[in-house]
């Protein structure tokens, strides 16, 4: 399939087949020019984050899901490079703790949602409970399949209470993942990133693709749709995410809040 003929990336509004999306797609854009455009977008994100923090009326959650090496950490680092750290809350949802398992599967997620004025970054998320749980058969189908509806209800609570939810599936090819895993082996500064479990999970590639496809199709309501982001090219991946963030924040039409006091009466000696 010709990648240039595909109108990627997609904000998902209808049923999709993941195989119709090309991880190598980059819209024919120039790499260096796009990097410059991304930097300008990131600077704008920094400005918008200041407005978000000052107004304290909305919050924003970035959900990053994808196969290992797809860039969940790298994308977050890039698009938030000009924001004030005090306005960012991050969580990395890996294997649940004993305390997590003593509650419903959404408990650890809801308590990690950011306060109004802040940006939350979820490296993995509540979707692990319909992805890895499904693929590795950690729960029976009747349990994990019921979670799609529960996730939609949870996200509806968030979006109806002034939380912007941007969900990004970082779509990487198996071939590109192999290159990145080899790079981690070859580079001593990246050795620490490699886990043997990353290699084992490659055997479940098709199963994960099926699980992601079902998660996207079952959990893309109008107020919290998935975005499928081609991730074979890091520079294009970051551009798409940054542009999506700017559009979402600019829709709020935020202005600087007025002072709570009459400043004309304040005298500083």
Could you tell me the pTM of the whole model? 0.94
For residue 2, the model assigns a pLDDT of 33
Question: How many separate domains does the chain show?
Answer: 1
Q: Residues 6 or more apart from 75 whose CB is under 8 A from it?
A: 64, 168, 170, 237, 238, 241
Cα 225 to Cα 155: distance, rounded to the nearest angstrom:
10
Q: Is position 141 within any domain?
A: yes
For residue 21, the model assigns a pLDDT of 95
| 53: nearest Cα among 106, 110, 116 | 116
Average pLDDT over residues 123-144: 97
For residue 7, the model assigns a pLDDT of 52
Q: Is position 269 within any domain?
A: no
Instruction: Residue 214: give the domain boundaries.
Output: 3-255
Confidence of residue 8 (pLDDT cuts 50, 70, 90): low
Q: Is position 268 within any domain?
A: no
| Dihedral sign, Cα of residue 110, residue 130, residue 67, residue 235 | negative
Q: Is position 234 within any domain?
A: yes
CATH number (domain holding residue 198): 3.40.50.300
Q: Is position 28 within any domain?
A: yes
HSE-CB of 100 using CA atoms within 13 angstroms:
14
For residue 261, the model assigns a pLDDT of 82
Q: Is position 265 within any domain?
A: no
Q: Is position 42 within any domain?
A: yes
Structure tokens at 238: 């970051």
Return the residue matching tokens 């920094």.
46
pLDDT of residue 61 exceeding 50, the answer is yes
Confidence of residue 190 (pLDDT cuts 50, 70, 90): confident
Q: Is position 267 within any domain?
A: no
């Amino acid at each position: 399939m010709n990648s240039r003929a595909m109108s990627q990336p997609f904000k998902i509004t209808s049923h999709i087949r993941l195989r119709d999306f090309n991880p190598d797609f980059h819209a024919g854009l120039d790499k260096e020019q796009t990097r410059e455009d991304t930097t300008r977008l990131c600077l704008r994100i920094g400005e918008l984050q200041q407005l978000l923090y000052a107004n304290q009326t909305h919050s924003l959650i970035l959900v990053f899901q994808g196969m290992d090496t797809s860039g969940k950490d790298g994308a977050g680092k890039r698009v938030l490079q000009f924001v004030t750290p005090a306005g960012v809350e991050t969580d990395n949802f890996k294997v649940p703790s004993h305390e997590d398992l003593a509650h419903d599967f959404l408990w650890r997620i809801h308590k990690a949602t950011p306060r109004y004025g802040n940006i939350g970054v979820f490296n993995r998320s509540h979707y692990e409970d319909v992805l890895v749980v499904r693929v590795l058969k950690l729960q029976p189908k009747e349990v994990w399949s019921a979670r799609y509806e529960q996730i939609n209800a949870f996200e509806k609570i968030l979006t109806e209470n002034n939380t912007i939810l941007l969900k990004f599936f970082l779509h990487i090819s198996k071939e590109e993942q192999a290159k990145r895993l080899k790079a981690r082996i070859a580079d001593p500064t990246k050795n620490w990133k490699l886990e043997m479990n990353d290699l084992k999970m490659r055997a479940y590639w098709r199963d994960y693709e099926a699980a992601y496809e079902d998660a996207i199709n079952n959990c893309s309501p109008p107020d919290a749709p998935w975005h499928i982001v081609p991730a074979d090219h890091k520079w294009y991946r970051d551009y798409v995410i940054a542009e999506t963030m700017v559009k979402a924040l600019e829709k709020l039409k935020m202005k600087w809040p007025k002072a709570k006091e009459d400043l004309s009466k304040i005298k500083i000696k």
